[in-house]
Amino acid sequence: MAPPHVLVVEDEPEIADLIRLNVEKIGFQVDVLHAGEPAVEFVRSKQPDLVLLDLMLPDIDGLEVCRRIKWEPATRETPIIMVTARGEESDIVTGLEMGAVDYITKPFSPRVLAARIRNVLRRHGDGDPLESSDNIIDRGLIQVHLDRHEVLVDGLPVELTLTEFQILVYLCERPGFVRTRDQIISTVHGELAILSKRTIDVHITALRRKMGDAGRCIETVRGVGYRFEDRFGVEAS
């Protein structure tokens, strides 16, 4: 089987070379481009397994690259990890809402970079958890029974409201993927819903409290939103 193919889009040569070296160390094929326009064309023609996309590029910015990739049916399923500078929270939120699956902030360690890439490639392309034969999302310590509208934590039932249940399902479907507050509102209440983003924070707080120690699986991504990380459940089981 051919190794995963990663496209790095980074205009600073030293950073691009460092990323290439570390991604190749984990056994992946890497191509590097230094501008946005050729990156869009590359994704169209070569269809890499993953794009590491810097937001600051010399021609078109990374958000526009993300928008174009996600707009085209042939490329919209290509996972994108944004590479950002500190203080770009609004751009991070915009990129996630456009369809990027994760982000990493400069400076970052090689181990963190490798973990993020492996996580996205492991998750991307998995079958939809909602289509499992028994209609259960199994995340180790936490099990969500969709047909019965039931949540079990370490084998014990947890009583959730409808909204709390829907939020948990949305986060559990793609562990490790960051979900913005706006994405959660649209999924749970519909695109036309007008709600304060802080309403989601209240629901998350209640959800964590009801889940006890397992509530640590719902991680806050400061300034962006939330993600479900099931490593806690694996360690506890």
CATH of the domain at 93: 3.40.50.2300
Where among 123, 158, 174 does a domain terminate?
123
Provide the edge-to-edge strand list for the sheet that holds 102-105: 29-33, 5-9, 50-54, 80-84, 102-105
Where among 85, 106, 123 does a domain terminate?
123
Question: Which of the pair, 51 or 93, is modelled with greater confidence?
Answer: 51
The total of structural domains in the chain comes to 2
Q: What's the pLDDT band for 133 if we cut at 50, 70, 90?
A: very low
* pLDDT at position 234 over 70: no
Output the pTM of the full model: 0.62
**DSSP helix/strand/coil, 158:** strand
- Domain match, 100 and 141 both: no
- Domain match, 9 and 112 both: yes
Give me the CATH number covering residue 156.
1.10.10.10
Q: What's the pLDDT band for 113 if we cut at 50, 70, 90?
A: confident
Q: What is the mean pLDDT of the chain?
A: 84
- Domain match, 189 and 86 both: no
- pLDDT computed for residue 78 by the predictor: 93
Nearest of 64, 73, 12 to residue 40 by alpha carbon: 64
Question: Which residues constitute the domain of residue 217?
Answer: 129-236
Where among 104, 123, 142 does a domain terminate?
123
- Domain match, 24 and 104 both: yes
- Domain match, 111 and 175 both: no
**DSSP helix/strand/coil, 75:** coil
- Domain match, 114 and 139 both: no
